[in-house]
Amino acid sequence: MGSTVDAANKGLNGTASAKKPTVIFVLGGPGSGKGTQCAYIVEHFGYTHLSAGDLLRAEIKSGSENGTMIQNMIKEGKIVPSEVTIKLLQKAIQENGNDKFLIDGFPRNEENRAAFEKVTEIEPKFVLFFDCPEEEMERRLLGRNQGREDDNIETIRKRFKVFLESSLPVIQYYEAKGKVRKIHAAKPIEDVFQEVKAVFTPEAEKVEA
């Protein structure tokens, strides 16, 4: 099986020895505002934003067999298999000229995390965790009315429960490695971004120095 992993690595980086991209995992419950903040980070710090959810939704829209399978799993509130999401993320990284990425909404669980690191041989630089109380996330989701199938109160609560059960072990894993940057996300957008900026600014200065 080693050769498959090697092939995947070569596919991701062009060559086996190519410089690995910088990856930052962005985690937060549904409605924590991470998508908005990612857009700000892209604009100010030149990252490419890859949303696992958007990639999965695009795959569903394509009408492929893979897309139908993903759609059924999401409807049932299940988590899509790691290899499906990792393949979509790999393809997106591979096809992009940038070398620094925000991966939003992934890894969803410990198995996702381990599979991503094993397949891509990339460990995130750090994890940006948007910490937001459930009531605030519910209020935002019900108010945003984006016409998403998964934005009704019952599904929101289910998604929040899945997030807590699945993603918290991932956050704890990286916390133990000193890699979690926790952002208090219940504040207004601009205030949240000031906190985010403080996390990224030292990085930008190091690059220029």
Please check if 106 is assigned to a binding site.
yes
Q: HSE on the CB side for 41, CA within 13 Å?
A: 28
- Using CA atoms, how far apart are residues 167 and 141, in angstroms rounded to an integer? 19
Please check if 98 is assigned to a binding site.
no
Please check if 33 is assigned to a binding site.
yes
Please check if 77 is assigned to a binding site.
no
Burial of 108 (0-12, 13-18, 19+ CB in 10 A): buried
Q: In this structure, are residues 180 and 171 in contact, taking their beta carbons and an 8 Å threshold?
A: yes
Please check if 46 is assigned to a binding site.
no
Please check if 187 is assigned to a binding site.
yes
Please check if 105 is assigned to a binding site.
yes
Tokens of 6: 């090697």
According to DSSP, the residues that pair with 130 across neighbouring strands are 28, 183
Please check if 57 is assigned to a binding site.
yes
Please check if 113 is assigned to a binding site.
no
Please check if 157 is assigned to a binding site.
no
Please check if 148 is assigned to a binding site.
yes
Please check if 112 is assigned to a binding site.
yes
Please check if 3 is assigned to a binding site.
no
Please check if 36 is assigned to a binding site.
yes
Please check if 61 is assigned to a binding site.
no
Q: In this structure, are residues 102 and 92 in contact, taking their beta carbons and an 8 Å threshold?
A: no
Please check if 144 is assigned to a binding site.
yes
Q: Map tokens 């090697």 to a residue.
A: 6
Please check if 126 is assigned to a binding site.
no
**Residue ranges of the binding site:** 31-36, 57, 78-80, 105-108, 112, 144, 148, 159, 187
Annotated binding site for ATP: 31-36, 144, 187
Would you list which residues are annotated within the binding site for a ribonucleoside 5'-phosphate? 57, 78-80, 105-108, 148, 159
Binding positions for CMP? 112
